[in-house]
Amino acid sequence: MNNSSNRPRLLIVSNLYPLPTEPARGMFNKQQFDLLSNEFDVTVMVPVAWPQWLKQRRRFLDANTGGLVYFPQLYTPKVGRALYGIWMFFSLFGAWLALTKATRFELCLGSWAYPDAFSGYWLAKCLGIPFVMKVHGSDLNEYLAYPARKAQISYVAKRSQGVLCVSLALADKLASIGVNRELIRVVYNGVDSGKFFPVDEVPTTQTLLFVGNLKESKGIVDLLDAFLQIHSSQPGVRLVIAGAGPAAKTLRSMIITAGIEEKVDLLGAVGHEQIPSLIQGATLLVLPSYNEGVPNVVLEAMSCGVPVVATRVGGIPEVVNEGLCGVLVDAGDVPQLSGAILMALSTPWDRSSIKSHASKFSWSENIQVTTGLLNEALMTPDKR
């Protein structure tokens, strides 16, 4: 990260950031934060669950630099989730106290509504500096269903100097809980077109690709069920699953029971540097998630000219031009999903048109909007 005393000092609090143990985690945030360092002196403070911290404390401490601080997040496992924001505030405050006294931040950004933005807001209030909140998807789609967390998210959002949303759908959710529309900016994440681009050689084997966390809310079990419905009529189609998570054991059992081990590749966790070649080698990206903000892998697939089969949730319909870039289905509808996959496999997609559509999701546009809001916050009187 670039550091210069001539730039405003920006503190970012976010768990969505690469860890020494999970280098692909939150890579889109890292890309954005690195670009922001051209305009601000950026320090990123990343909470780490305390059990993980205790196991690998030395790795996290060794990774700390002047612009990057990993710190242990205290909490009570599996109980008192409505108190996680308070726990994180004390964890964050302690980590902030350990920083050099020469560090005087002028602005704070909390990236992930709860508990990250909640704790970042209260630290900013203690420091007397402006605060901006960024929301991503599950932090609203899931947490607003819980009254105590909803109240805390609403409280902070209404008192922030601005709120960044990665989709219109998330902006609507914030407005529905009383957040002033004038505070909200919608800005889609960008794509590194130097890494994600179409290749000349179209794969000869038809391959369905899933990239993401292996949990049921991502629709990964639905995808395997849909694949089981079509594989006998489409014997040449393969399924590649890249990711790790709690559903991995279930998937492996389903694959063995169905006797399709030779048709499905369970890759486990992959580094972000491997994702471009995986997408470029795919016929379709399939993401049957139950809730989303705007998943970056969808933008990355389109940037590679690869069509998408995804669910009509969150901000996905905002970025996928159906008919031009892919097919959208209802979440949880396996027969509809299998039908959409078959239709997409038989459609002669124009890869250059898909790539052209994806070009509007640029980091330059993202940084322009984000920097504009942060600079507005610096000049806005604190009315908290």
Looking at residue 6, its pLDDT comes to: 82
Same fold, 9-190+363-379 and 207-358: yes
Nearest residue to 328 (alpha-carbon basis) of 146, 301, 277, 320: 320
- Contact by Cβ (8 Å): 103, 43: yes
* Residue 100 confidence (pLDDT): 67
pLDDT of residue 101: 57
HSE of 163 in the Cβ direction (CA atoms, 13 Å)?
32
Determine the residue type at 176.
Answer: S
What pLDDT, on the 0 to 100 scale, is given for residue 353? 97
User: How far is residue 305's CA from residue 357's CA, in Å, rounded to a whole number?
Assistant: 9
Q: Are strands 184-186 and 162-165 parallel, antiparallel or unpaired?
A: parallel
- In order of 152, 285, 294, 361, the CA distances from 298 in angstroms are 31, 8, 8, 11
Domain boundaries of the chain, sorted by first residue: 9-190+363-379, 207-358
* CATH number for domain 9-190+363-379, candidates 3.40.50.2000, 2.40.10.10, 3.20.20.70, 2.70.98.50: 3.40.50.2000
Q: How many residues belong to the chain?
A: 384
* Token output for 80: 């008192």
Q: Which amino acid is present at 150?
A: K
> What pLDDT, on the 0 to 100 scale, is given for residue 382?
59
Spatial distance between the Cα atoms of 353 and 357, rounded to a whole number of angstroms: 6
d(CA 168, CA 31): 22
d(Cα 384, Cα 382) in Å, to the nearest integer? 6
Record: fold of 207-358: Rossmann fold (3.40.50)
pLDDT at 381: 61
Burial-class residue 82 by CB neighbours within 10 Å (0-12, 13-18, 19+): middle
Neighbours of 177 (CB within 10 A): 14
How high is the pLDDT of residue 203?
74
The per-residue pLDDT string of the chain (384 residues; one tens digit each, 9 = 90 and over) reads: 545 568 999 999 999 999 998 888 899 999 999 999 999 999 999 999 999 999 999 999 999 987 999 999 999 988 889 999 999 999 999 999 988 655 789 999 999 999 999 999 999 999 999 999 999 998 999 999 999 999 999 999 999 999 999 999 999 999 999 999 999 999 999 999 999 999 987 777 899 999 999 999 999 999 999 999 999 889 999 999 999 999 999 999 999 999 999 999 999 989 889 999 999 999 999 999 999 989 999 999 999 999 999 999 999 999 999 999 999 999 999 999 999 999 999 999 999 999 999 999 999 999 999 999 999 999 876 555
- pLDDT for 1: 55
